[in-house]
């Protein structure tokens, strides 16, 4: 069962829900079904705002802790 993250378009409440195929989801706050669905990606922490480039120029120092050349 996939875990989805939702933002309610009515009250902007954000929540996560386990949703099975075809199941209707509603906002726990205002019970609206006008929801925006986002994939919940545990592999990519939310604190990472900018993804590191896959290939950084070899003439520059390593681009960060996850640099492809480290």
Residue ranges in contact with Zn ion by CB under 5 A: 8, 10-11, 13, 27, 29-30, 32
- For residue 17, the minimal CB distance to Zn ion (Å) is 13
Nearer to Zn ion, 11 or 52 (CB): 11
In terms of C-beta density within 10 A (0-12 exposed, 13-18 middle, 19 or more buried), how is residue 27 classed?
A: buried
Nearer to Zn ion, 26 or 67 (CB): 26
CA-closest candidate to residue 8, choices 20, 28, 21 = 28
Nearer to Zn ion, 16 or 69 (CB): 16
Per the structure block, which two tokens stand in for 53? Answer: 């480039």
């Amino acid at each position: 069962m996939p875990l989805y993250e939702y933002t309610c378009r009515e009250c902007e409440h954000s929540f996560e829900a386990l949703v099975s195929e075809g199941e209707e989801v509603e906002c726990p706050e205002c019970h609206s079904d006008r929801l925006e669905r986002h994939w919940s990606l545990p592999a990519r922490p939310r604190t990472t705002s900018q993804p590191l480039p896959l290939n950084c120029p070899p003439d520059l120092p390593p681009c960060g802790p996850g640099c492809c050349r480290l």
